Amino acid sequence: MATKKTTILGAPLKRLEDPPLLTGQGRFAADINFPNQLHMRIVRSNRAHGELLSIDATAARAVPGVFAVWTRDEIADLPPIDFRADKSAEELKPFRQNVLVRDRVRYVGDPVAAVFAEDAYVAEDAAELVDVEIKSLPVITSGDDAPGEFAPGLSSEAGLLTHRYGDCDAAFAAAHTVIELDLFTGRHSGVPMETRGALGVYTAATDLLELYGAAKIPHRNQDTIVRMLGIDPAKIHLHEGHTGGGFGIRGELYPEDILVLIAAKRLGRPIKWIEDRQEHMMAANQGRNQHHRAKIAVDENGIILGMTDEFWHDQGGYIRTHGANVPNRTMCMLTGAYKVPAFDALCHLRLTNKTPAATYRAPGRFESTFVRERLMDAVAAKLGIDRIELRRRNLITAMDMPYPIDFDEPHVENLLLDSGDYPALLDKALTWLDWDTLCGDLAARRATGEMVGAGIGIFVEESGKGPQDGARISIDGAGDVEILTGGASLGQGFETTMAQICAHALGAPYEKMTVIHGQTDLIPYGIGAHAARATVMTGSAVNVTALTLRRTALEAASELLQRPADALDIAEGIVFVSDSPPEAGGPSVTLAEIAQKNGGRLEAEDFHKTDSTTFPYGIHFAVVKVDPDTGRIDVERFMVAYDVGRAVNSRLLEGQLVGGCLQGIGGALYEEFVYSETGEPLSVTFMDYLMPTLDLAPDVECLITEDAPSPHNLLGIKGGGEGGINGVAAAIAGAIDEAIGIPGAITRLPVTPQRMKEILRHRAG
């Protein structure tokens, strides 16, 4: 028996979850069916804003195969869809969305009625027959527009949010230079491969409701449903299957999720709903849509003295379950990796007549990094300081860590940057790129008439926010290890990551691991997979639990081997005497044998608890080429430098960074939900909503470092799910500026060919 230890943590092991996906055995929401099920189709508003006068479903109900049609009357007892956090601000609650419209429609796509039929196509045909009468009301299509009326006597400006510290008045009064920029981030979304889907099942004998197709945060959504509907937590189970992408917009509670549950119980049959792509484009959460007026004050050497930002956040038709999370994250992360002695941010949280907005990968951080790095580029250009040198002068250093950012508002969460060496990562990235040579080559190309340039974006991410997560791990008589968590898998390699952490801590073979997740009936808690929490929180819980199980196994083996537990070790599922391994003739016992002698199972349950957040950080570099004739922008080269504290699986981490980067390129150059003046969505197909295809994707270079492990968990790990997207737009914007020779040219995302042509025409004029 070989007991040689192998390096598991950090190794690019193959994904455990891939075999069923690659062989067509995946079980996505659309693959799940139940006997006697009904299919649901939503009737959606065709107007952006109006008073709902009447709904006539007579013709739809008469269609053969239609079982029922619901309007506001059938579910008048249901409350609005609640916020995820039960302590969300009371003043935001009037802006929540009802399951079906009661009085006003507030965006094109707002659910007005639900048709339940024996067949999905019958449901779709019948939905076309529902006659909805709506009296038009004034439409607001921009957060910049003057606030209107969300409801009688209630302004569509839901709130004024602030994050402040220091004396900005004094900082700006003492400044050598003050720069103000007007910046816009366009409206786009995650657009995962799998559209939303939900199946509700009710078992009358046990009074049990079940929701299949639950993604991302099953336990937190279970808590919200329980609170919203006032039911016993034991009477509702959520089941996560395979999920074709999340990116922040999946996993939220939408009206359709509540409808399938309530209908399953009241109609007595399973209810299945799968949205089509057009529905998804007009009804799933959008985001990013902000307008910033940002200012920065610096001294003669470019040292930051203060920063202010007033911005307008276009929330869309309602405030959904994330509450005001996105604008709050925008403000709290705006200062990034720099020392900013004084800061003042004000957000106008405004409702408009567009699809509701919420989180999308690196919510608020993609936006704030674009704003902050545009300011830094502007300072460098104004003062004639090299843009790299300017950033270096202002970076928080390793000696400053942990670095507190304490806001004045008592209700605002303060930040404590846990660890990092930002200048060191910058140096490593510049070396990787051979920066001086790269800049020289680009300058030579520009001298021959090419429009080429390079840009940079430096950022801090946040991940692994608590308060706790747990796990159960067991070993059976065959030596197989089961890892049960409340985490969730969205395609990011969750099972592989948890197995690697467990194998590393326990000393059992990686191949013997089975990871179970996303089932609220099997484990009563779980943080899911959101805000880059999965690896840090659930991974740390798995690590702690595996170490507890390891101690239990060593204590049991101590009796069998007649050696003290601290004299024993475990490798490849074999417990042996540390200084006398089996290959040297020493005694040993397998974990399987220990489990057999313990009634066939060895088990542990434990928790990782923290009141702290981990802060990974990164730098993005982009090289672009602009075609002056067409306005097309090609990303010739993109590099992501990212410190993750400690990598669990280098291949998976690189995949996360590359995937996020390509999404960021989409948001920087292509993707935008456009609306007409009357609120009609103009980007509900892939003909109009452009996404970067493979021919437009650069080979993303990844420099992954582990220089700054987090002190807040035993492994030192930080999250990697959002580091690939955070700084993309900032780096591309700076690169375009240099390519076309106009400092500060890029003020609006995405930089579509049409917008690029307009900028070039303005330059020529």
pLDDT tens per residue, range 283-306? 999 999 999 999 999 999 999 999
pLDDT score recorded for residue 762 = 86
Alpha helices in 284-324 (DSSP H): none
Beta carbons of 581 and 513 less than 8 angstroms apart: no
- What angle is formed at CA 46 by the lines to CA 42 and CA 50, rounded to 5 degrees? 110
Phi and psi torsions of 683, nearest 5°: -135, 55
pLDDT band at 248 (very low <50, low <70, confident <90, very high): confident
Beta carbons of 472 and 488 less than 8 angstroms apart: no
pLDDT surpasses 90 at 79: yes
pLDDT surpasses 80 at 699: yes
pLDDT band at 581 (very low <50, low <70, confident <90, very high): confident
Phi and psi torsions of 650, nearest 5°: -60, -35
Beta carbons of 107 and 132 less than 8 angstroms apart: no
Element (DSSP H or E) covering residue 131: strand 131-136
> What pLDDT, in 10s, does the model give residues 739-748?
999 999 999 9
Beta carbons of 640 and 723 less than 8 angstroms apart: yes
pLDDT score recorded for residue 709 = 97
pLDDT band at 2 (very low <50, low <70, confident <90, very high): low
Interaxial angle between packed helices 255-267 and 218-229, expressed in degrees from 0 to 180 and rounded to the nearest 10: 60
Work out the average pLDDT over 181-185.
98
pLDDT surpasses 90 at 84: no
pLDDT surpasses 60 at 1: no
Q: Tokens 């200084």 sit at which residue?
A: 579
Q: How many other CB atoms sit within 10 Å of the CB of residue 244?
A: 18
Q: What count of Cα atoms within 13 Å lies in the side-chain half-sphere of residue 187? A: 27
* CA–CA separation, 90 and 158 (whole Å): 11
Work out the average pLDDT over 22-37.
95
Helix or strand or coil: residue 177?
strand
pLDDT band at 585 (very low <50, low <70, confident <90, very high): confident
Q: Is 206 exposed, middle or buried (0-12, 13-18, 19+ CB in 10 A)?
A: exposed
Q: How far is CA 511 from CA 2, 26, 491, 499, 500, in A?
A: 15, 20, 20, 9, 10
pLDDT score recorded for residue 86 = 60
User: Minimal CA–CA distance to 764: which of 747, 731, 735, 740?
Assistant: 740
pLDDT score recorded for residue 597 = 94
Distance of CA 437 to the CA centre of its chain: 36
Interaxial angle between packed helices 365-383 and 387-394, expressed in degrees from 0 to 180 and rounded to the nearest 10: 120
The pLDDT mean for the chain works out to 95
Is the torsion defined by CA of 379, 384, 385, 387 positive or negative?
Answer: positive
Beta carbons of 330 and 364 less than 8 angstroms apart: yes
DSSP 189-231: ----SSPPEEEEEEETTTTEEEEES--S-HHHHHHHHHHHHT-
Distance of CA 468 to the CA centre of its chain: 19
pLDDT score recorded for residue 464 = 87
Q: Tokens 């956040």 sit at which residue?
A: 313
Work out the average pLDDT over 649-676.
96
Buried b (16+ CB within 10 A) or exposed e, 538-568: bbbbbbbbbbbbbebbbebbbeebebebeeb
pLDDT surpasses 80 at 531: no
pLDDT score recorded for residue 252 = 86
* CA–CA separation, 383 and 338 (whole Å): 18
pLDDT surpasses 80 at 6: no
Residues near 117 by beta carbon (within 8 Å), at least 6 away in sequence: 38, 39, 41, 63, 65, 66, 67, 123, 126
* CA–CA separation, 106 and 718 (whole Å): 40
Strand partners, 162: 346
User: How many helices and strands in the chain, by DSSP H and E?
Assistant: 18, 30
Work out the average pLDDT over 86-110.
91
Helix or strand or coil: residue 5?
coil
What count of residues does the chain have?
765
User: Minimal CA–CA distance to 330: which of 161, 96, 86, 165?
Assistant: 161
Strand partners, 239: 212, 519
Q: Are strands 481-485 and 513-516 parallel, antiparallel or unpaired?
A: parallel
Phi and psi torsions of 589, nearest 5°: -150, 145
pLDDT surpasses 60 at 201: yes
Q: Are strands 236-239 and 208-212 parallel, antiparallel or unpaired?
A: parallel
Buried b (16+ CB within 10 A) or exposed e, 326-353: bbbbbbbbbbbbbebbbbbbbbbbbbbb
pLDDT score recorded for residue 567 = 94
> What pLDDT, in 10s, does the model give residues 410-446?
989 999 999 999 999 999 999 999 999 999 999 999 9
Tell me which amino acid residue 674 is.
V
pLDDT band at 556 (very low <50, low <70, confident <90, very high): very high
Interaxial angle between packed helices 365-383 and 728-740, expressed in degrees from 0 to 180 and rounded to the nearest 10: 30
pLDDT band at 491 (very low <50, low <70, confident <90, very high): confident
At 262, list the tokens: 């309530």
> What pLDDT, in 10s, does the model give residues 381-410?
999 999 999 999 999 999 999 999 999 999
The domains located in the chain, with CATH, are 18-26+465-609 (3.30.365.10), 32-137+193-245+250-283 (3.90.1170.50), 290-463+613-764 (3.30.365.10)
* CA–CA separation, 736 and 395 (whole Å): 24
- The predicted model scores a pTM of 0.96
Strand partners, 199: 212, 272
Distance of CA 354 to the CA centre of its chain: 21
* CA–CA separation, 110 and 50 (whole Å): 11
Residue 669: DSSP 8-state = I
Q: What percent of the chain has pLDDT over 70?
A: 99
pLDDT surpasses 70 at 156: yes
Strand partners, 117: 39, 66
pLDDT score recorded for residue 697 = 92
pLDDT score recorded for residue 444 = 98
